[in-house]
Structure 1
Amino acid sequence: MYDLHTHRNITFLDNLYIPCEALIRGDQTAIDLYGQQVYDNGFKERMLLEEKDLCAAFKNRFHFQASPLSEEEAEFPLAYGFVVYKNVVQVLHMLAAFYQPQNLYCINIDSKSPDGLKKLLRGVESCFPNVHVVIGPSIEWGSYEIVTAVWNCLSYAEKSAHAWKYYQYLTGTDAPLKTNLEMVRIFKALNGTMNMSYDIFNKTWLQGKQEDGSPFLPIYKSFIPALIPRPAATAIVGSSQVADYLKWLKGCWIPEELIWATIAGRPDLLPWPGAVPNSLMYQLKGTTEQMLAQLIKGRNKTQRITITEDFYGPATFDTPNQNWIARYQGWNSDDLLKCNKFTHTSCVFRVAELAALRNRPELTAHKINFEDQPVAFFCLLKEHLRRSLNPEPFDARNYTRLPEVELLRGVPLDELSMPKASVNRLRRETRG
């Protein structure tokens, strides 16, 4: 049942020659050469739209896995919610990379998307029974409609009879950094906790609203990609108080970033197994930032970068060094990031970043664009397919040291692995 190579079609990725190993090693000659290559996205879209048998075309041109790759994966199905609006061929490649027949997929399409995108993704829905497509609202950056789009798929997944265990959100410019098997082991390590980012929000985002009118207080910021266990989704989707809060967010700026940490970290208002009080996570965040600020006070930029790297410790393929693991996204404010191009202050990962991406502990990378050095995207997919069909040893035990997981186990705040190791480094620095 779990023969990894039985009846597998030879797809576009198989026939695409790129020296990905050299690129991932950081070979500068290969980077210079293959960074110049382009991909005719429009031509492939036109070819697909002309196909008489879309199901055969999808299965022949993209690697949609036909059967579970292992018993472990079959017994731990996942769910995904995509929000997409352009570059349908990139979306199809990405969907195929994440696709497993035991999982559940919901795709929210922006209503202003091209007709070709809608037709092809509707075609995917008709070919694969575990894929659901919804035409959502027209989305503008920072508007409320993204909340509706996100909720369309989360609600669909939660209300379905499918036995998925964890849910994650993706966009059309994401790429997998972990295989399905690796993700399953990471989700098991999370032990029913929800993984999300935590930050203080900018009060100007309320657009004049009074914070004390919110059904949930205090309000915190967290990026929309989160890893949500089924019990949390059930509690969130079924809560009238959450529904009231979502209505209250209408008129706010970037409202989707005011959801998860505000509602999911309040077990007193929204109880569910695995809930960790957000007050503890913000206390931890504040303590960590104060310690780091103490270390770098008065240092020059080069010294600050070195100290920050030492403080957090190395992030490696199976060892996260900070709590949020859903997505790896680089920002122009990050002194540690080596990135050559930014869009809306967010790094656009290209060929030169492949070496760093291959070693990240997060589940996905964002942003990767077909229009900009598409070889980076294809190398990530080829590497992902290689490890999917030829699994390498992967131990997720380091993910059990994430703060939420340890707090749920009853580890005291001052004994958490993150930032306990940082505290020890701080003490050594102070003594030195």
Structure 2
Amino acid sequence: NITCADILHGDPSLHSNSSIYTRIRQYLNTAYTPWVSIRKYFDWGQNCTEFKRIRGYVTEPLSEEEGKFPIAFTILAHVDIEQIERLLRAIYHPQNQYCIHVDAKSSVYTIQAIRAIAACFDNVFVATKLEHVIYAGFSRLQADINCMRDHLMFSTEWKYLINTAAMAFPLKTNAELVQILKIYNGANDIEGMHRRVLNARIKLEWIVVDQDIKQTGRKNPDPPHDLKIVRGSAYGVFSRPFVEYMMVEQKAVDLLEWSKRTFSPDEHYWATLHHTMRNPHLHPPGGYEGDPDTKPWLAVYANWEPYKPTSNTTCYGHERNSMCVFGVGDLPALIKRKELFCNKFVIKFEPTALECMEAWIRQK
């Protein structure tokens, strides 16, 4: 007899040390089954009106302010059609537009199911070019670039672009996003760390071998145009002029080409172009001239290396790729975060955590 309100507001009986919490977690870890088969998405593609009704999609702008401030979203997806669709529903509004990049390695059924969902909406589309995404490889960055190009071709109306992983979830409503982005007033929100650049990632050559990224032992040439590399996140908030700048500015084009033989270029490409303290000869729209390491960054929250002895955070879920996969015990802290999104959830692990986040954002 536990409700989402109990979980979200930290009922003491749900504390991680209590026996009831342990029993709930044991139940959640064994109780998950997909709420609908992948075949159902194909069926819904034949009856979009019913699909939107059953899933409760927003069908018109919820306010005049939101209607006049469209946002572009990129969703980078790989597996689990149900979680992808749940994220789309959580952020969907008819005035916005959505590009879904599906890893080309995904099953043909997953790709077809996502295409069936997208076909139900005028403002949702699958990227025109799908990449075989290799973890930490250039293909991950190229996937984002592909969607950015598609967004620019699709519409001239959107003001900002936000890219997100399919395992992320919003912490702000669309109305709140609009209010925040209006305050940004053309500024981008891109993480930067110029004092913590990992030289092995950029000074040495990395290539894809047998679906994995490997170091060749050869040195990379210096970055073009005397650019100084700034490290950051793969995710950010990008103004439309900044996206246009990245597509046509020769320095940006050359940096993208040079990045093909680096490790995890998605974690330095945006940051290098945006933070001009290190690169004053760049003049990106919405760029930041101050110290990257001291600038707050609000695009997305992730709990990195939560079980390190030096960590001052708690993870009630489990660690995967050095990141906390959130469980129900993490929700009371998450809903108080100031960031726009949080990453990550895995629906097969404590699905109630994601379900309660859905209920919370929808109620807001």
Corresponding position of 2:62? 69
The reply on whether 1:256 has 2:233 as its aligned counterpart is no
How far apart in 1 are the matches of 2:44 and 2:239?
Answer: 39
1:41/1:87 contact within 8 Å kept = no
Point out the structure with max Rg over C-alpha: 1
Corresponding position of 2:150? 156
Flag structure 1 segments of 5+ consecutive residues without an equivalent. 1-16, 289-321, 388-432
Which of the residues 272, 276, 298 maps onto 2:288? 276
The SS at the match of 1:127 is coil
Corresponding position of 2:244? 234
The SS at the match of 1:365 is strand
1:216/1:262 contact within 8 Å kept = no
Cα offset, 1:94, TM superposition:
0.6
The 5-angstrom pairing of residues 272-351 of structure 1 reads: 272-277=284-289, 280-282=290-292, 285=293, 323-332=296-305, 333=308, 335-340=311-316, 341-351=318-328
The SS at the match of 2:169 is strand
Please state which structure has a larger fraction of its residues in helix.
Answer: 1
How far apart in 2 are the matches of 1:264 and 1:159?
Answer: 23
The count of corresponding residues between Structure 1 and Structure 2 is 332
1:160-214 per-residue CA deviation (whole Å, 9 max, x = no partner) reads 3331111111111011110000111111111211111111221111224446343
Corresponding position of 1:380? 357
Cα offset, 1:44, TM superposition:
3.1
The code of the aligned residue for 2:341 comes to T
Please state which structure has a larger fraction of its residues in strand.
Answer: 2
How far apart in 2 are the matches of 1:71 and 1:50?
Answer: 34
The code of the aligned residue for 1:117 comes to T
Larger deviation, residues 180-189 vs 22-31: 22-31
The SS at the match of 2:261 is coil
The reply on whether 1:362 has 2:346 as its aligned counterpart is no
1:258-296 per-residue CA deviation (whole Å, 9 max, x = no partner) reads 11111122375442443222xx224xx3xx6xxxxxxxx
Corresponding position of 1:79? 72
The code of the aligned residue for 1:339 comes to C
1:283-335 per-residue CA deviation (whole Å, 9 max, x = no partner) reads xx3xx6xxxxxxxxxxxxxxxxxxxxxxxxxxxxxxxxx71111010011562
Q: How high is the TM-score relative to the length of structure 2?
A: 0.85
Corresponding position of 1:390? none
The SS at the match of 1:26 is coil
Cα offset, 1:82, TM superposition:
1.1
The SS at the match of 1:164 is coil
Distance 1:203 1:162, change over 3 A: same
Cα offset, 1:51, TM superposition:
4.7
Corresponding position of 1:304? none
Distance 1:381 1:250, change over 3 A: same
1:325-353 per-residue CA deviation (whole Å, 9 max, x = no partner) reads 11010011562211031101101111000
2:224/2:251 contact within 8 Å kept = no
Corresponding position of 2:213? none
Cα offset, 1:257, TM superposition:
0.6
How far apart in 1 are the matches of 2:6 and 2:357?
Answer: 13
Distance 1:53 1:210, change over 3 A: closer
The code of the aligned residue for 2:201 comes to W
Q: How high is the TM-score relative to the length of structure 1?
A: 0.72
Corresponding position of 2:85? 92
The 5-angstrom pairing of residues 4-43 of structure 1 reads: 19-30=3-14, 31-32=21-22, 34-35=24-25, 36-37=27-28, 38-41=31-34, 43=36
Corresponding position of 1:120? 113
How far apart in 2 are the matches of 1:48 and 1:155?
Answer: 27
Cα offset, 1:361, TM superposition:
0.5
1:17-51 per-residue CA deviation (whole Å, 9 max, x = no partner) reads 97111001112545445432333127432333455
1:122-176 per-residue CA deviation (whole Å, 9 max, x = no partner) reads 1122111111212511112111101110101112223333311111111110111
Identity of aligned residues (%): 28
Which of the residues 225, 230, 233 maps onto 1:215? 225
How far apart in 1 are the matches of 2:282 and 2:107?
Answer: 39
The SS at the match of 1:147 is helix
Q: Which runs of 4+ in 1 moved over 4 A?
A: 30-34
Cα offset, 1:58, TM superposition:
2.7
Distance 1:159 1:51, change over 3 A: closer
1:48/1:54 contact within 8 Å kept = no
Corresponding position of 1:245? 255
Distance 1:272 1:46, change over 3 A: same
2:273/2:284 contact within 8 Å kept = no
Cα offset, 1:240, TM superposition:
2.2
Corresponding position of 2:210? none
Corresponding position of 1:203? 199
2:44/2:51 contact within 8 Å kept = no
The reply on whether 1:102 has 2:79 as its aligned counterpart is no
